[in-house]
Structure 1
Amino acid sequence: MTDPDSTFDSAAGLLGRITEELGTRLGRLPRPRTRPPVHAPTLVAVGHGSRDPRARATLGRLLDRVRELRPGLDVRLAHIELNEPLLDGTLSELVEEGRDAVLVPLLLAPGHHVTHDLPAAARRAGADARVAEPLGAHPLLVEALADRLVEAGWTPDEGEGVVLASAGSRDPRSGAEVRRIAALLGERLGGVPVVPAYASAAAPTVPEAVRALTARGRRRIAVASCFTAPGLFASRAAVHAPWIASDPLGAHPALARLLLHRYERARVRELAGI
């Protein structure tokens, strides 16, 4: 008669050997690849660059506001020229990290930098980067412009006028966009006449715009600084203000929201294949 204990021991030993062999074979199988975490594209805010040391610090504070609004989003600053980090270097870093990006121009209107320099930099670096629209004629931009005027001492008066000072460009689309910004700002200020003026490459200049408003009977003329940060052009424009000149837009909360709006709009357009 077979001993039950010996039968149990044999079955247990066989089961143990089977389990051991199965474990060995499973250990030889290739491990499944884990998917890398899905990241939103990096927001690269691209400024022109300036020799004014206040410019980079100002844009840094602006991007801090953007990070506060969107925790976890990778937000970086880059410059076309004059300041580090330069755009080429930032894009090369992103390629090495395997990240794609949305380039948000810290510029007010279309022009050579937006249509040529930014896409060319992305091609040189081999980066997967989409260029967003410039800041442009948007209510958030106008909100920031109006607030800066109030901070400078603006008060409603029938004899007031505003010169909207911006960098200027030979691209006709740029002038058209600045005129739209001027029209929106005039509406925001209750129908005050707002005349666009340019620091370079286009007319009228700030002094010419001031004279035009004076000829229309405007007694108190303010200069609205349509620049993202302090620099040579903003300083030149402010010098010609007969009354007050507002500070550049800088780290205004509305400008931070506008950067995120342009970023998200570029992402939506990419997903839609536009």
Structure 2
Amino acid sequence: MSATPILLAVGHGTRDPAGVATIRALLERVRALRPALPVAACFAEICAPSLDDAVAGLGGPAVAVPLMLGRGYHSLVDIPGRTGPGTVVARPLGPHALLARALADRLRATPPADAVVLGAAGTSDPSGMADVRAAARLLGRHLGRPVAHGFAASAEPSLTDVVGDLRRRGARRVTVASYLLAPGFFHRRIHDSGADAVSPPIGVHDALATLILRRYDEAALAYGPLGETPQKAASRP
């Protein structure tokens, strides 16, 4: 058994080849930051390798890190339910100040705006909605200005409504900070919100790669010093 648990990065999955390529490039950045750490990639749905196939082929302890920006079905129910007893599931990535730093960097690619909105994909989970609100507050603190939030799908307030409301209140230029890891369906939906500018997804960024490693390190504490499974580690005197 390996003394170092594998970092099993679990992406959501997308039919957009650019989205898959972005996740793989992001994990290359993770490997560059910690070359000795074994890193494997899989997806909860749509893409290969699947989470189930990846877990079946692990051959040792692992920490599954959901590449998700907040709590929701995949991070709270699906991924924990599909991993074996030798795998610990880390917290989702957000909200976190490192994500705010990365979002601020991506906003530099857009022109100055009167108002900034954090644009998230959408969730039906109340805890996930709360995570997006917290992420907007963190970005506002980083930028030193108020940041509203809206969802591209499946939640309220809708991003289109938030952009329209800001215009009615006098904002001439509205920019959306894309609270997404990679391009795909939801980024296209954000572009349809009526905003004047939309930042690129977070993508390959050192702050995001550092956060992935931080979530791994937090969860890896469940293992004993020799890479024992969490159950065995808990039984140590």
Length-normalised TM-score, structure 2: 0.90
Q: State the percentage of identical aligned residues.
A: 44
1:179 corresponds to: 133
2:14 corresponds to: 50
SS at match of 1:224: strand
Residue 86 and residue 239 in structure 1: after superposition, are their counterparts in 2 closer, same or farther (change >3 A)? same
1:204 has 2:157 as partner? yes
Residue 268 and residue 163 in structure 1: after superposition, are their counterparts in 2 closer, same or farther (change >3 A)? same
* Deviates further, 61-70 or 214-223: 214-223
The Cα shift of 1:55 comes to 0.9
1:147 corresponds to: 105
Q: 1 CA distance for matches of 2:120 and 2:10?
A: 17
Q: Is the 8 A contact 2:120 2:179 kept in 1?
A: yes
Q: CA offsets per residue over residues 42-97 of structure 1, 9 Å max, x none?
A: 11111110011111110011000000000121111110111011100000001xx2
Q: 2 CA distance for matches of 1:185 and 1:246?
A: 14
Q: 2 CA distance for matches of 1:127 and 1:42?
A: 14
The Cα shift of 1:154 comes to 3.9
Which structure shows the higher helix fraction? 1
Task: Please report the RMSD computed on the Cα atoms of aligned residues, expressed in angstroms.
Answer: 1.6
Gaps of 5+ in 2: 225-232
SS at match of 1:208: helix
The Cα shift of 1:234 comes to 1.1
SS at match of 2:105: helix
2:81 corresponds to: 120
Of the two structures, which has the highest relative contact order with CA contacts closer than 8 Å and spacing of 6 or more? 2
The Cα shift of 1:127 comes to 4.6
Residue identity in the other structure for 1:100: P
Length-normalised TM-score, structure 1: 0.78
Q: Is the 8 A contact 1:225 1:248 kept in 2?
A: yes
1:106 corresponds to: 67
Q: Is the 8 A contact 1:197 1:205 kept in 2?
A: yes
1:257 corresponds to: 210
Please point out which of 223, 227, 232 is paired with 2:176.
223
Q: Is the 8 A contact 2:10 2:65 kept in 1?
A: yes
Q: 2 CA distance for matches of 1:64 and 1:241?
A: 34
The Cα shift of 1:240 comes to 2.2
Question: Hey, which bits of structure 1, 4+ residues long, moved more than 6 A?
Answer: none
After superposition, residues 1-274 of structure 1 pair within 5 angstroms as 38-94=2-58, 97=59, 99-122=60-83, 126-151=84-109, 153-155=110-112, 160-191=114-145, 193-268=146-221
The Cα shift of 1:243 comes to 1.5
Q: Which has the larger radius of gyration?
A: 1
SS at match of 1:195: strand
Q: 2 CA distance for matches of 1:242 and 1:173?
A: 27
Q: Is the 8 A contact 1:91 1:127 kept in 2?
A: no
**Length, aligned pairs only:** 226
Residue identity in the other structure for 1:57: A
Q: 2 CA distance for matches of 1:241 and 1:65?
A: 33
SS at match of 2:136: helix
Gaps of 5+ in 1: 1-35
